[in-house]
Structures are given as structure tokens and as C-alpha cells.
Amino acid sequence: MNINPIVSPKWLLARMYEPDLVIVDCRFVLGSPESGKAAYAVSHIPGAVFLDIEEDLSAPVGTHGGRHPLPEPLELAARLGRAGISSASRVVAYDDQGGLYAARLWWLLRWLGHDDVYVMDEGFAAWQAGGFPVTDVTRTVVPASFVPDVRGDMLADVGEIRRALGDPGVLLVDSRDASRYAGEQEPIDAKAGHIPGAINRFWKGVLDDQGAWLAEPQLREQLAPVIRALDDGREAIVYCGSGVSACPNVLALHRLGYPQAKLYAGSWSDWISYSDNHIASGEEE
């Protein structure tokens, strides 16, 4: 199992032309969906392909499933194959948001049974700041065959979350910022608050002030309540607004040796799509 999926720009620079390596640009800006693709067209890591969070790595939005619904596994596998990712590929993803969107691809690939996937630390800005090569040339992609082997135990749905309410054996972890968790503001979704019983661990807490991933001792401190729960044999289910920003917390737990943490993929935007689901506010830690 790939315990440390974070790699440095120098690590990638040394391997970027190896034939089994596929580099994926996952840049995206919420509320400006074309900006990532436009940034890729201007400048990207040589050889990188572009995958869009909404067009490629999510299903169309429906009544339920949240703002970034999970794609069907076979459809996602086909899209990955068209991007040149095979079942034998090593994949390195990057973005310019501290790994927020790259971690979504990391999680999706692992969900499909593919472990050889990494996130580049610090993102494209660090690559540029290091003086490493960039290009505006789009790679010619040779389609590949990606055969999924879905790991259903990585995923939680709304029914599992409902059953978890009041269950001392399950810890719910909200990855949004503290004000959204507390219900003080909600700039994106239709209702404010959090799932009852959830604790808050903002996903950016896994990064330092420069946007680099924390070292393991600091990660353990940031995620201490979750680690205690897992060490006690409890289950941890991580969520956010739409199943994207929870992925860095899931990745951090994986890095620390806790791959059993689940993702509630629909997250808050799915939870509030059911009118009978309860909503909490304030602090619960």
C-alpha cells in the first residue's frame, strides 16, 4: 500500500519522462469553472494531461448526490483511459490549491482500486518558483485501458450517515472551515450548519503557512481526535461541502497509516437535499 502519497516537485522532475508516468493537471476554481482549463492552456508541466473536476471527475448534478456527484465507475474508468491512464500507470496529480483538487483524483483512483497515485506537494506555483520547465504544448494522448476494481468500503452514502447519528462507534468529520461548520455563514449551499455529531477539522489544517503538506508529527496533532477514534476501533467518515475538500483529510489519514477512513462523497450538499435530515450548528467538540 502507498502510505506516503505526497511527492515533491524535485521527485517529479526526476521522473517526469518515465514512460509509465502520467501527470495530471487538476487546476480548478470554484465559481469559475473554465479557469483551470484556461490556465492549463497557457502553461503546465510538460507532458501533463488535464482533467476537469466537474466535467471529468464528477457526474452531472441531480436532485441528490451533492454538487460534485461521484461518476459511475465504468464511465470514470473510460475517461481515465482516454487521458492515457492505464491500470499499470503511475499517476501524479497537481493543482494550485494546496492539493485540494489533486486529492480528489487521488481518492477516485484508489476507489477504483488503483494505488499507484501521488499528489505533488505545493502545486504548480512551487513548480514554477523552482524554475522547473513549463509548456503550453498539449500532449498527444495514446488511449489506454483502465480496468476498475471498485473498493466499496471506502465510500459512505446518506443511509450510512443516517445510521451513524448517535452511534458512538462512528466519528463524523466535517472538513469545511469553522464558520461554515458552525452555521455562521454558508456562501455556497442552500442551508447552513453541519451533520449532527460531527467534529470540525478544516482541510487546510493539513498544510503549513506556505501551502506545503505538514510533516507527520504535525499532521497527527491536527487530526488527533480522528486518530484517537480510529485507534479505539471506531469508524471515521469524512465529509465537506461536496466531497472534494474532504479528500485532503482522507489523504492525510492514509499517509499516517489509517486508510480505513471513509468519504461521504455527497457530503453536506447531498445531506441537505433530503428535507427530513437533521441539521446542527455551533461547536460539538
240 is catalytic: yes
Q: For residue 194, give every residue at least 6 positions away whose Cβ sits within 8 Å of its Cβ, in sequence order, or none.
A: 174, 176, 181, 182, 183, 200, 268, 279, 280, 281, 284
Q: Report how far residue 216's alpha carbon sits from residue 282's, in angstroms, rounded to the nearest whole number.
A: 29
**Pairing, β 90-94 against β 199-200:** unpaired
Query: DSSP per residue over 172-210, as a string?
Result: EEE-S-HHHHTTS--SSSSS-SB-TT-EE--GGGGB-TT
Q: What counts of helices (H) and strands (E) characterise the chain?
A: 11, 10
Give residue 8's identity as a one-letter amino acid code. S
Residues in the chain, overall count: 285
Helix H or strand E segment including 118: strand 117-120
Q: Report how far residue 255's alpha carbon sits from residue 253's, in angstroms, rounded to the nearest whole number.
A: 5
Selection from 174, 30, 9 nearest residue 100 by Cα: 30
Contact 160, 271 (CB under 8 A): no
Contact 25, 99 (CB under 8 A): no
Q: Report how far residue 143's alpha carbon sits from residue 79's, in angstroms, rounded to the nearest whole number.
A: 10
Determine which one of 240, 251, 252, 272 is catalytic.
Answer: 240
The C-alpha cell that represents 129 in the structure block? 518558483
| Burial (CB count within 10 angstroms: exposed 0-12, middle 13-18, buried 19+), residue 29 | middle
Catalytically active residues, by annotation:
240
